[in-house]
Amino acid sequence: MQRTLSVQLSTRTDRTVRIAGWVHRRRLLKSVAFLVVRDATGLAQVVVTDPAVRATVEALTEETVVEVTGTVTANASAPAGVELTGPVVRPLGPNAVPSPFDLFRPELTATLPTQLDHAPLALRHPRRSAALRVSAAAVAGFRATLDARGFTEIHTPKIVGSATESGANVFALDYFGRPAYLAQSPQFYKQLMVGALERVYEVGPVFRAEPHDTARHLAQYTSLDAELGFVTDHRDVMAVLRDTLAGLLGTVVDRAGPALRTLGVTVPGVPAEIPAVSFPEALGIAGAPPDEPDLAPAHERALGEWARREHGSEFVYVTGYPMAKRPFYTHPDPARPGYSNGFDLLFRGVELVTGGQRLHRHADYLAALAARGEPVGPYADYLAAFRHGLPPHGGFAIGLERLVARLTGASNVREVTAFPRDLHRLTP
C-alpha cells in the first residue's frame, strides 16, 4: 500500500491507509491509548483500543520510526479533524534512545547550546524544521527572481590564493603544501563574471574566522550574492534588490505557508519603492551628530522606526555612506567623491544587505588601494581582469541566516542554521 502523508489524511476519510513517521508522543489512558505519529508534513493521531496493539505501542519509545495501517475516521476533536482507528502498528527499526529534551512540546525548552549539541534531534522539532523550510523557500525565491531577470547562476572557488577583503578574519589551510585561504565572499569572482555573463548570482557558503561570539556571527554562513553590469549607478542595483526581496518573500509565502503558520510569522510586504535616505539625512533622522562617520545600532533602530512610521515600510535604504567606511572597490559618488555609491538595506532596524556600485576601471583600483596605503599584491590576479574591459557594474549580498532569523523573530542566527559553526562549535 502506498504511504499516505499526515497532511493528506483529511481527504481520505473512511479509507484504509498506511502512514509512517516518528513516534511523536504516546498517551496511555485506561481504556484507550493515543499514538501521535510525526512525518515531514505534520502530525497524525492514532487511536488504539486493541490490547495486542496497545502492548506494541506501550513498548515503543518516542522517536522510534513506525508505520501504521488503519482507517481514517472523522473526529471533530482530533487534530485536523481525523484520526486513525483500528490500527496495526509496526516499528521500522529498533526502539529509539529517548531524546535528552522533549520534542513533543510546542516549544523546545532546552537551552540553545543543548539544542545545538544534539542538532540532528533538535531539528526534528516542528519549529526548528519550519525555519529551515522558510530558509529553503527564501533561496528559491531569490533564484527565481533573478532567473527571470536574465541572471545566470555561478559557482566560484571557496579556496583562494590570497587573503583579501578583510585580511584578519580568514581561515588558512594547507593546499598541497602551499598556503591558501577560505573565501570570505565571492565578491571578486562575481565581478569578474560580469565580464562573461553580465548578470550573475551565487548561493554558497562564505567563511569568516570571526573572533566574536555574538547572536549574529557565524564562521560559515550562506551568502546570496548578485552582481550586474551596465548599470548607471547604484540605484539600478537597488531596484533589482527591491524586486529580489519582493520575489523572495513572495515565494516564502507561496511555498512555506505551513511553516509560517507553525512559527506564527507574517511576512511583510515590500513597497513598490523602498524609502531611501542619504547618509546625512539618516544621521538627522536618527538624531546623531552630523559628523558621525557611521551608523550605530541605535541609529539603525531609529531609522527602522522612522521608515515604518512615515512610510509603512519594514525596509529602508541608506545611500551614500562615507567612502572611508566602505570597501576599497566601492565606486564614489561622482558629485561628492568623499561619499560612495554604496548602500545598506535595513530590515526592521537592522542592516540586512550591503551593496553598491563598484569601481570598473583598472586605474581607479590602483588609485583606491594607494589612497588607503594597501598593497596591490593580494589583489593582483583579480585586478588584472579589469584591464580587459569591464562595464559599470554593482551588486549586493544578503546573509541568508540573518534574513531568516529576522523574518522569523529568532533572536540568534544559530536557531535557523542546521549545523552552525562558530568560535566554539565545530560539531556536530
Residue 347 CB, nearest approach to a copy of itself (Å): 20
Q: According to CB under 8 A, which one of 80, 112, 123, 288 is a site residue for a copy of itself?
A: 123
Residue 333 CB, nearest approach to a copy of itself (Å): 18
| Per-residue contact string for residues 163-192; x = within reach of a copy of itself by CB under 8 A | --------xxxxxx-x-x-x------x--x
Cβ contact 394:376 at 8 Å: no
Rounded to whole angstroms, how far apart are CA atoms 350 and 409? 13
Establish if 139 lies at the interface with a copy of itself (CB under 8 A).
yes
| Binding positions for a copy of itself, 60-99, rule CB under 8 A | 63-65, 92-94, 96-97, 99
Rounded to whole angstroms, how far apart are CA atoms 52 and 271? 60
Tell me whether residue 216 is annotated as binding.
Answer: yes
Which range binds a copy of itself by CB under 8 A, 18-26, 44-52, 76-84, 301-309? 18-26
| Per-residue contact string for residues 356-375; x = within reach of a copy of itself by CB under 8 A | ----xxxx------------
- Nearest CA among 153, 170, 154, 151 for reference residue 162: 170
Which range binds a copy of itself by CB under 8 A, 75-83, 142-150, 277-285, 318-326? 142-150
CB-facing half-sphere around the CA of 9: CA atoms within 13 A: 33
Phi first, then psi: give them for residue 400, nearest 5 degrees: -60, -45
Phi first, then psi: give them for residue 133, nearest 5 degrees: -70, -40
Q: According to CB under 8 A, which one of 78, 80, 112, 197 is a site residue for a copy of itself?
A: 197
Establish if 324 lies at the interface with a copy of itself (CB under 8 A).
no
Q: According to CB under 8 A, which one of 160, 252, 285, 323 is a site residue for a copy of itself?
A: 160
CB closer to a copy of itself, 128 vs 299: 128
Which cell numbers in the block locate residue 332?
Answer: 564614489
Establish if 392 lies at the interface with a copy of itself (CB under 8 A).
yes
| Binding positions for a copy of itself, 257-276, rule CB under 8 A | none
Q: Please report, in range form, the residues annotated as the binding site for L-aspartate.
A: 165, 208, 354, 358
